Amino acid sequence: MVDKLRFDDEVVIVTGAGSGLGRAYALELAARGAKLVVNDLGGSTDGKGSDASAASRVVAEIEAGGGEAVASFDSVATPAGGKAIVDAAIDKWGRLDALISNAGILRDRSYAKLDLDEARSVVDVHFWGGGFYVAQPAFAAMKESGRGGRILLTTSASGLLGNFGQASYGAAKMGLVGLMRTLRIEGEKAGIKVNALAPIAGTRLTGAPVDDDAPKGPGKVAPIAVALAHAQCPTNGEIYMAGAGWYSRVMIGVTEGWVSPDATAETILANWDKVSDASTYSEPRSAGDISTIMRSITG
Ligand code: NAD
């Protein structure tokens, strides 16, 4: 058994914590003693407008439960906003232990009809915002503290696997996986662990908001987000998927493949089944692992 995971004296930032999954994460973390920066711009699901009441309401909920939180109304989608979110933690409590980078919008459009400005705004929030404008100053603060920390990036089944109409969203979400894999390596020595979570829950973003406690509610994802934000979680550089009480790890695998030093396009196509056969595969953890795998197969 694992003892109850507490976050006493720890400071956690949750972006997009004014509703849906982020709110559920923030409430659960606060209930376990964390001090929270509750960040939310408070706009619509397509990212238009802003409303300070989204973050303020969640701060009030945390305070009503006896917890400690500050609201941040900055947008994750600008470098200044990202820095201000991290500064909110450092200015108030002088430390940062974990970041859950969760804020998100949707502007679905089929690829042929994609409007580039719209696509860019989606990438700005999820990829540049979540992955760089907020996560980079957070990573730097954790490194400087000498205590390490945890960063949880929010990916999506749409990015990992594809979904009609979600070209920009999917590209941004899969881009975060590439970033996470590199931060795993760069943060290791400093004790910074970075993982990615693909949540599945009924929220306003999916057009089917449900209560936290509903069978498909955000509350069914919060436990794994909390586990991944805790210092006791040893995992670094992995992708998890969770929803409706289901908790799973997503892998990137390489098939054993087919070896032929004299291959041509024709012989490769003739042996396509062997190239693709997933009955034997390995799961490299970094680009460096590929050389080892290639050597072991090609000799
Ligand atoms: P949600 O709309 O309830 O929550 C997203 C929050 O992010 C909102 O409160 C919004 O105001 C905030 N936000 C948006 N743009 C912002 C910005 N620029 N700066 C600060 N805050 C901003 O939706 P959700 O479903 O809880 O989504 C949370 C995250 O989970 C998103 O990254 C989403 O892509 C991801 N996700 C959700 C699902 C799902 O099934 N709900 C599936 C896959 C991925």
Identify the domain boundary among 250, 266, 286: 250
Please report the ipTM that was assigned to this predicted complex.
0.99
- Three-state DSSP at 57 gives helix
Residue 35 placed within a domain = yes
- pLDDT band of residue 21 (cuts 50, 70, 90) is very high
At residue 299, does pLDDT exceed 90? no
Residue 6 placed within a domain = no
Task: For residue range 190-238, list pLDDT tens digits in order.
Answer: 999 999 999 999 999 999 999 999 999 999 999 999 999 999 999 999 9
On whether both 271 and 133 belong to a single domain, the answer is no
Residue 231 placed within a domain = yes
In the predicted model, what is the mean pLDDT of the chain?
Answer: 97
Q: Decide: 58 and 40 in contact? Cβ < 8 Å.
A: yes
At residue 1, does pLDDT exceed 90? no
Task: For residue range 81-114, list pLDDT tens digits in order.
Answer: 999 999 999 999 999 999 999 999 999 999 999 9
Separation of 16 CA from ligand 1 center, angstroms?
A: 6
Cβ of 40 below 6 Å from ligand 1: yes
Going through the chain in order, the beta strands assigned E by DSSP cover 11-15, 35-39, 68-72, 98-101, 149-154, 192-199, 239-243, 246-250, 254-255, 281-282
On whether both 149 and 281 belong to a single domain, the answer is no
Residue 4 placed within a domain = no
Cβ of 54 below 6 Å from ligand 1: yes
Task: Provide the domain limits for residue 240.
Answer: 11-250
Residues in the chain: 299
On whether both 170 and 22 belong to a single domain, the answer is yes
On whether both 294 and 180 belong to a single domain, the answer is no
How far is Cα 249 from Cα 230, in angstroms, rounded to an integer? 17
On whether both 259 and 246 belong to a single domain, the answer is no
- pLDDT band of residue 245 (cuts 50, 70, 90) is very high
On whether both 132 and 270 belong to a single domain, the answer is no
Question: What average pLDDT does the segment 149-175 reach?
Answer: 97
- Three-state DSSP at 254 gives strand
The token duo for 270 is 């003739």
On whether both 261 and 275 belong to a single domain, the answer is yes
Separation of 64 CA from ligand 1 center, angstroms?
A: 24
Would you call 133 a catalytic residue per the annotation? no
On whether both 110 and 208 belong to a single domain, the answer is yes
Residue 2 placed within a domain = no
On whether both 27 and 107 belong to a single domain, the answer is yes
Identity at 118, one-letter amino acid code: E
How far is Cα 71 from Cα 46, in angstroms, rounded to an integer? 22
On whether both 233 and 265 belong to a single domain, the answer is no
On whether both 281 and 175 belong to a single domain, the answer is no
Residue 91 placed within a domain = yes
Residue 211 placed within a domain = yes
At residue 18, does pLDDT exceed 90? yes
Going through 6-52 in order, the beta strands assigned E by DSSP cover 11-15, 35-39
Task: For residue range 54-83, list pLDDT tens digits in order.
Answer: 999 999 999 999 999 999 999 999 999 999
On whether both 153 and 199 belong to a single domain, the answer is yes
Task: For residue range 132-148, list pLDDT tens digits in order.
Answer: 999 999 999 999 999 99
| Residue 286: predicted pLDDT | 92
Give the CATH number of the domain where residue 87 resides: 3.40.50.720
Count of domains for the chain: 2
Query: Per the confidence metrics, is the pTM higher than 0.90?
Result: yes
Mutate to test the pocket of ligand 1, among 57, 168, 203 (most ligand atoms within 8 A of CB): 203
Cβ of 204 below 6 Å from ligand 1: yes
Residue 3 placed within a domain = no
| Residue 99: predicted pLDDT | 98
- Of the listed 25, 133, 169, 240, which one is catalytic? 169
Question: What average pLDDT does the segment 10-14 reach?
Answer: 98
Give the CATH number of the domain where residue 283 resides: 1.10.287
Share of the chain above pLDDT 70, in %: 100
Give the DSSP per-residue string, 125-193. IIIIIIIIITHHHHHHHHHHHTS-EEEEEE--HHHHH--TTBHHHHHHHHHHHHHHHHHHHHHGGGTEE
